[in-house]
């Protein structure tokens, strides 16, 4: 079964996730994006730019 704390764990800890800072050009929301195609979590626009 799935390990829940045993020695085998290929988990990637949250602090290793590298997000980039973005600003939404539609609503001004600032957020940390991951992945190839960031989308604003507030207005769902893909018109975003690196902050």
Partner 1 sequence: MNYALNDELLLIRGKLSFLLVAKVRSSFGLCIETSNDEYCQGVDAGDLVVVSAPEGGAVEPALMLTDLVRTFHVPLLVLPRNHPGSRRISYVVSVGPEIFTSCSVQRGTHPDQHIICSSDELAGLTLKRSGKGIDIFNLPESIIPKHIKFEIKTDFS
Cα 44 to the center of its chain, rounded Å = 14
Helix (H, G, I), strand (E, B) or coil at 12: coil
User: Exactly one of 27, 28, 46, 51 binds partner 1 (CB under 8 A); which one?
Assistant: 46
What Cα–Cα distance (Å) separates residue 42 from each residue in 16, 26, 30, 45, 46? Answer: 25, 10, 9, 8, 11
Considering the rule CB under 8 A, would residue 44 count as an interface residue with partner 1? yes
Nearest distance, CB of residue 20 and partner 1, angstroms:
10
User: Exactly one of 23, 32, 49, 51 binds partner 1 (CB under 8 A); which one?
Assistant: 32
Nearest distance, CB of residue 9 and partner 1, angstroms:
5
């Amino acid at each position: 079964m799935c390990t829940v704390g045993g020695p085998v764990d290929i988990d990637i800890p949250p602090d290793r996730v590298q997000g980039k800072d973005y600003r939404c050009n539609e609503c001004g929301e600032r957020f940390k994006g991951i992945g190839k195609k960031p989308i604003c979590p507030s207005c769902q626009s893909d018109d975003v730019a690196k902050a």
